[in-house]
Amino acid sequence: MTAQGIFQVLASGLLMGLIYALIAVGLSLIFGLMDVVNFAHGEMLMLAMYAAFGLWAISGIDPVLLMPLVVAAMAIFGALVYLGIVRYAMRAKSNAGMVQIFATFGLAVLIQGLAQFLFSPDYRSINGSFLAGKTVNLLGVFLPAPQVFGGVVSLAAFAGLWLLMTRTDFGKALEATREDQGAVALVGIDRNKIFALGWALGAGLVGLAGAVMAIFYYVHPQVGSGFALVAYVTVALGGFGSVFGALAAGLIVGLVEAATTLVLPSAMKSMGVYVLYLGVVFFRPSGLFGRL
């Protein structure tokens, strides 16, 4: 393979890595905030993709313009999942960890079942975006425009998240709540409100990922499961709860996946990622930037 070809593969890997990071960051954020693993994270991604597809199919408006709507809808959904399910699961008197796992896992099964039932298992795709079919020439490397757009959106989202966490009162309250959720009442912060907003933020971010992916990826009821698996690897690699670990880990996962295709058949592209994951579990179980 030529040097040009290798660059091409690695650049696509980096772009996919940015998308992986955007998918994973909401999962990491919610875990860091309240020690709850959202097993319905992949299904939230799937819901967001269907939301983007559905809105496009009904309105005919370019999916790029529909993104804010999808994000807002998912943020509301996320807050409702906390207020309606997780909040009660956290109150379990015994075995709270298990109760939380089954609560979000049950939600995943429910959402996927409903999607099968309501939307059918058919693969659907949006073919109306102005980005579709275009390529971008970056220093001689040709990349599909929707993926480049996705990468830019992801970077912008991380920049926004950084500003939110470091510059706003809400960001400080998030950080304080993740450090000591029992102490925030001392300064008058309602931790339930912070948790609900944290879920809104996490779900809004995965909603953004879904809205972007719907432009270039098939939408079907199982689409979330595969990406969720990569998201768990990303979160474990970056360090559970570390928001910017998720960015670094997403990029690494994307690169490793792409690099694997250089040496193995592309059907086995995930292998490199899971070998990497095993390595992390063995040698650095707290992840690259973890605090465990």
Partner 1 sequence: MLLEVDHLTTAYGGLVAVADVSIGVAEGEIVVVAGANGAGKSTLLKSISGLERPRGGTITFAGERIDRLAGHLITSRGLAYVPENKRLFPRLTVRDNLRLGSWLHRREPDREAPLETVFRLFPRLAERLDQRAATLSGGEQQMLAIGRALMSRPRLLMLDEPSQGIMPKLVDEIFAAVKVIRDSGVTVLLVEQRLMESLEIADRAYVLQTGRVVLDGPARQIMDDPEVRRVYLGM
Residues that bind partner 1 (CB under 8 A): 169, 172-173, 175-176, 179-180, 182-191
Of 28 and 104, nearer to partner 1 (C-beta) is 28
Of 118 and 187, nearer to partner 1 (C-beta) is 187
Of 194 and 205, nearer to partner 1 (C-beta) is 194
Phi, psi of 269 (to 5 degrees): -65, -25
Least distance between partner 1 and beta carbon 190 (Å): 5
- Partner residues linked to 137 by β-bridges: 142
Is the separation of the CB atoms in 14 and 141 below 8 Å? no
Least distance between partner 1 and beta carbon 179 (Å): 5
Is the separation of the CB atoms in 20 and 250 below 8 Å? yes
Least distance between partner 1 and beta carbon 188 (Å): 4
Is the separation of the CB atoms in 244 and 289 below 8 Å? yes
Least distance between partner 1 and beta carbon 193 (Å): 9
Of 41 and 191, nearer to partner 1 (C-beta) is 191
Closest listed residue to residue 47, CA positions, set 132, 107, 131: 107
Least distance between partner 1 and beta carbon 175 (Å): 6
Least distance between partner 1 and beta carbon 212 (Å): 32
Is the separation of the CB atoms in 233 and 277 below 8 Å? yes
Least distance between partner 1 and beta carbon 174 (Å): 11
Note the residue count of the chain.
292
Of 125 and 181, nearer to partner 1 (C-beta) is 181
Of 57 and 183, nearer to partner 1 (C-beta) is 183
Of 41 and 178, nearer to partner 1 (C-beta) is 178
